[in-house]
Structures are given as structure tokens and as C-alpha cells.
Amino acid sequence: MTLNEQVFAQAALLAGELEGKQADMLKALCAAAAGSLAARLKDGLNPEDCEADFIAAASLFALASLNCVEENGQVQEFKAGDLTVKQGGTAGDTPARCLRWEAERLIAPYLKDCFAFAGV
């Protein structure tokens, strides 16, 4: 299974039931997220070097993008580990922002353009 297929498989699992058009869109968004993240990795790092975190982050980025492009893409409830996203009020793209934030936090130690605390 290729890296893009792994990202899509995880994103689809997290997304739940998808219609045909949504699945196709998610597949394209997964490939774009994986490509974008791979380009941001620190010099000398490959996606395979941080595979689990890379797949998780790329799938969260793709889900955030799907949420933004869907006409009625409001998330009712979404769980990924300790992260839970629920629709709330009229916050607009708050679920998408939350997903992006969690993805950035997860992949930050591996990125050349991002700061993250390694420990204290």
C-alpha cells in the first residue's frame, strides 16, 4: 500500500461514511496533503522516517480541507485519539481549524518551518 493510500485509508476511517463524490474528493485532498507535508519535512527526512505521525497529520489536514470545501460540511462529532471535534454555534470553520492545529502539532517536530517544544 502506497503512502497516499495509507493516508486516504486513515482519513476515510476517521470520516466515516462518504458518498462517491466525497470519497473522490477526499482521495485528492489526501494526496495534496501528503505532498505538501513531504515538501515541508526537515532536510534529510522522508515521510517513511516518521510514517505514523506523517499519515495521521496528512489525514487530519485532508479532513480539514474536506470540511472547508463541503457545502454542508459541518462536523457533528469527530474523534481521533484524544481529539474530539463537535459542531458548535456559528463558528464557521472552527472544526477545520481545530483539525489543522492538531495536525500541525503532531507533525511539528519533523518540519523545517515549524517550532515545537521537544521537552523540558
DSSP string covering 28-73, please? HHHHHHHHHHHHHBPTT--GGGGHHHHHHHHHHHHHHHHHHHSTT-
Read off the pTM: 0.75
35 or 96: which leads in pLDDT: 35
Q: Give per-residue pLDDT as tens, 48-101.
A: 999 999 999 999 999 998 888 764 445 556 665 665 656 554 455 577 888 888
Q: How confident is the model at residue 19 (pLDDT cuts 50, 70, 90)?
A: confident
**What is the C-alpha to C-alpha distance for residues 11 and 5, in angstroms, rounded to an integer?**
10
pLDDT at 73: 47
